[in-house]
Structure 1
């Protein structure tokens, strides 16, 4: 792995990361990809997601590998006073602290906003957790599945298909809200740099995902009194799914008037250009179920390759339907280097999704591989001002730890 000489656009920003599992680590990895110095604080057992395989060595599960690059790992037992003290000493030199446990848990640890701000008044203290502290759900536990259900995502699948509610088979809530948390953290850090004043920020999962969903589906209830039901008909149409062809499936979106006129010429039905159902965008939206059903009937008459050639020639949006397996061989992703491979110091040859975006002067990059549990404990404690004897005591007492010999090095 070769990191570019130029730092990312967030070079010089230091973040104390007390998050675990997916949502928080996704937020902080995004910031780390952009050049921030992310210090991942882990308990002696490590982030729970480290135990989720597949993996070559304990504590280095695949999902954790894809959520914790560009970070340094320090182990601190925050339930002990020495661990709390070390955490506060690290916080003194950080621009932000982010956590995704419930605020009540942070208070029990003695790491609430007041305690952290006392050692660093300029710090941004950001919590991303289940529910906002001013509502009746405050303090309730929350996970991706629960929030997908609570925010209406699962019921949308049932509403569209007439089947049972389902969760999206990705950590949709964690990742969508993780990006919101990253944006909020940067906004607050920018404010702190301008004014010299830190602040406490909360990014609740329920509210964030409800905003995500209802931006599409508030519908007629956007007005008071309501002028129609909730829901965006196009997204809920039963045939809004990949179209079956004669030998497979394709993703096709015939969207604007130009697309539809070209499609009618392509299938030999030019008379439909002026029909009451297809004539303009408003008419199609009012009959979206029938419109999608019509396209579905037509698509099965040709093979995927035939449709790809015809639709692309007519400049109608179309894409091949990938699986997670075939996505690895997509020619566009290969050309842009989306799945870089490099040699990890302990895990051998690995592949990971690349950072997103291109920056002409300050490139995002994988500058650090995912660390082992506590890989940088000694380094970071030294940076926080601990002397060699103090660090040895913390190691001996189990307040911190550093990993054993690199597994790839074999036995001595």
Structure 2
């Protein structure tokens, strides 16, 4: 991924050669906020032609903080590149007809409306599948239609609370639950949407048939959290309490040095033994709680507390120099602004300087995933509301078969 400067026209478009791994895939995006837009942006980054179908009011993320002009917030810009924007009023028959004309030629439709709303609009899978048997139809919303929570409103905070995420982030002193300071449920669910759609497209190449997909946030995040935290409840009857002890240790945190903080994580027996030797405490490296993984896991709180006391005796710079060649996982604790100056991120081109016709100079986040033959690309910056039309989309799709 090499740094490059690109210019975009008034619709936010540029036209480098196509060729991403999803080149030729046509996606109708009826999502808003974060989960769905992240998923469809990733499909677009990999070459798919993504049509963002918006109401006349537009995606609510257009109006979040950090924009230079109305309807083009920084968060919207970061979640909606490589898309064309078509405004349709789906409460009006004309808007529905325009959408259906695109459905006939689309490969994927992904929506974040509640299924009841899609049925009311007569945009449920059964109807659309009758128009296009190859359509992959993905619903991405809060709760599965199969359970009693079906149809409930859901946003990231609600899913963090319900999935156990907020409880395991609890302050160890007060016990108060806390949210991860990231829309992590939206992002993880968005990644799951991408996985599901790509798998369905692969299967379609074998069967010739599309299918309906449901990606509910609650179930996705519950499964995500329980992978390591189910522990004793994996067995019937249970053979212990839930919760991965190392992760829930009250001593697990960035450690205070004499002048700041450092992230430090000896993990293997060799790494633990090497840390105590390098730190000037070789007598500890031969103790059973260091050399025996089972004992180490039982006494992890005490080991982390000991580690914290040792780390406090030196500066951050001293520790970074001391550990540099020891193959013990460690790092400085970056702030968000630090990332903009990180030498590694600069070298791989994570921040792409671009110029948007209406928003001016910007830093676009590059594409972290690298393909040797069919790399993704930034072909369009996030579009202004309604900067394209269904007629334009249909004309381009019909031209290319």
How does the TM-score come out when normalised to structure 1?
0.91
How far apart in 1 are the matches of 2:16 and 2:246?
A: 44
How far apart in 1 are the matches of 2:342 and 2:293?
A: 33
Contact 1:89/1:384 (CA < 8 Å) preserved in 2?
no
Deviation of 1:315 after TM superposition, in Å, equals 2.0
- The question of 1:54 aligning with 2:66 is answered yes
How far apart in 2 are the matches of 1:247 and 1:4?
A: 48
Higher RCO, 1 or 2 (CA under 8 Å, sep at least 6)?
2
Contact 2:271/2:327 (CA < 8 Å) preserved in 1?
yes
Deviation of 1:90 after TM superposition, in Å, equals 0.6
Match of 2:264 among 252, 258, 265: 252
Contact 1:157/1:163 (CA < 8 Å) preserved in 2?
no
Describe the superposition over 1:296-329 as per-residue Cα deviations: whole angstroms up to 9, x where unpaired. 1111100000000101132211111111111111
Deviation of 1:364 after TM superposition, in Å, equals 1.3
- The question of 1:114 aligning with 2:126 is answered yes
Match of 1:281 among 262, 272, 293: 293
- Comparing 109-118 and 155-164, the one that deviates more: 155-164
Equivalence for 1:379: 392
Match of 2:156 among 136, 139, 144: 144
Structure 1 runs (4+) greater than 4 angstroms displaced: 159-162, 381-385
- The question of 1:322 aligning with 2:334 is answered yes
Q: Secondary structure at the match of 2:170?
A: helix
Structure 1 unaligned runs (5+)?
386-412
Equivalence for 1:10: 22
Question: What does 1:336-351 align with in structure 2 at a 5 Å threshold?
Answer: 336-351=348-363
Deviation of 1:295 after TM superposition, in Å, equals 0.5
Contact 2:135/2:211 (CA < 8 Å) preserved in 1?
yes
Equivalence for 1:313: 325
Question: What does 1:350-365 align with in structure 2 at a 5 Å threshold?
Answer: 350-365=362-377
Question: What does 1:6-405 align with in structure 2 at a 5 Å threshold?
Answer: 6-158=18-170, 160=172, 162-377=174-389, 378-380=391-393, 382-383=395-396
Contact 1:333/1:339 (CA < 8 Å) preserved in 2?
yes
How far apart in 1 are the matches of 2:171 and 2:237?
A: 24
How far apart in 1 are the matches of 2:86 and 2:227?
A: 39
How far apart in 2 are the matches of 1:155 and 1:215?
A: 16
Q: Secondary structure at the match of 2:190?
A: helix
Deviation of 1:193 after TM superposition, in Å, equals 2.2
Describe the superposition over 1:68-90 as per-residue Cα deviations: whole angstroms up to 9, x where unpaired. 00011101000000000111111
- Comparing 376-385 and 97-106, the one that deviates more: 376-385
Deviation of 1:171 after TM superposition, in Å, equals 0.4
